[in-house]
Copies of this chain bind each other. A is one copy, B any other.
Amino acid sequence: MKIGWIGAGIMGNPMVHHLLKNGHEAHVYARHPQKVQNLIEEGAVLEESIASLVQHSDVICTMVGFPSDVKEVYGTIFEHIEPGKICIDFTTSSPSLAVALAQQGKDKQVTVLDAPVTGGDAGAKQGTLTILVGGPKETFDQLQPVFSAFGKDIFYCGVAGAGQKVKIANQIMIANTLQGICEAMTYLKSQGCDPALVIQNLQNGAAGSRQLELLGPKMLQNNFDPGFYIKHFVKDLRIALDQKEVKLTGVENVIQEYITLMDQGYQDLGTQALIKYFQ
């Protein structure tokens, strides 16, 4: 399949690498072409504009930063796209925007899937991402060769926007779980105990979680290198709160803590730096 890719950053770059490795023809557009030099060397075609990328691709993939970026990029894509083509937005973005893009696509006889991923840069590099897909089931089935190039667990979540909704549910759980880890460690420390006891004694029991396993040790070592940026997590939590149907008290609480950290200049630290808020 001829695949166009917009947004070959920390996540997108290794995803394109896996597409190439799996025999796909990849066309890439990058504002900073030197960042995709490795992909060109592997056989990707560098496109000088989104217009030419769209023209040369059957499937146009996007993996950008914020919903505002998604909106802007799709504005340009839709200007140039022809009927019958398919778009996949891998960005974690707002469900309502995903629904709007799907509708705008329909008006141009173009199918747009939302397909946010989980698994971080490690999952992207290893080609073991979880992919959460919303849109027409037949298009989901048709695109298995694309998804399976870099995905391990590939889930059909439902109609347009459903992939984004499930991804946001994922972030809601992570936010509250991180809060619990930070409160538990902070409580122990305040009571004169070693916060490391949380991991040493509790990880394998009823309080165990993947976040504790992955980020607990980093918190204890004051290692705040980003696996996932605070600024992107805050974006995701804003999307969670950007609906009027339910009140998410836990998320409201956690986002305030992260915003405090961002105000202190910590937006590019990893999400485990939540522990700094408690220190």
CB atoms of A169 and B157 under 8 A apart? no
> How far apart are A183's CB and chain B's nearest CB, in angstroms?
5
Alpha-carbon gap, A250 to B186, bound state (A): 12
- A201 an interface residue at 8 Å Cβ cutoff? yes
CB atoms of A188 and B166 under 8 A apart? yes
- A191 an interface residue at 8 Å Cβ cutoff? yes
- A208 an interface residue at 8 Å Cβ cutoff? yes
**Per-residue interface assignment for chain A, residues 245 to 279, with 1 indicating a CB less than 8 Å from any chain B CB and 0 otherwise:** 11011110110000000000000000000000010
CB atoms of B243 and A190 under 8 A apart? yes
- A103 an interface residue at 8 Å Cβ cutoff? no
Alpha-carbon gap, A248 to B190, bound state (A): 12
- A50 an interface residue at 8 Å Cβ cutoff? no
Closest to A256 in B: B249
CB atoms of B176 and A180 under 8 A apart? yes
- The A contact surface, by secondary structure, is helix
With contacts A169-B184, A170-B207, A243-B190 known, is A197 near B157, CB below 8 A? yes
Alpha-carbon gap, A96 to B48, bound state (A): 68
> How far apart are A189's CB and chain B's nearest CB, in angstroms?
8
- A120 an interface residue at 8 Å Cβ cutoff? yes
Alpha-carbon gap, A270 to B253, bound state (A): 25
**Per-residue interface assignment for chain A, residues 181 to 196, with 1 indicating a CB less than 8 Å from any chain B CB and 0 otherwise:** 1011111101101100
Q: Which residue, of A208, A212, A243, A245, has the highest number of chain B Cβ atoms within 10 A? A: A208
Alpha-carbon gap, A153 to B203, bound state (A): 11
> Which 10 A/B pairs are nearest by Cβ-Cβ distance?
A176-B180, A190-B245, A209-B209, A173-B207, A169-B184, A173-B180, A155-B201, A208-B210, A172-B184, A179-B250
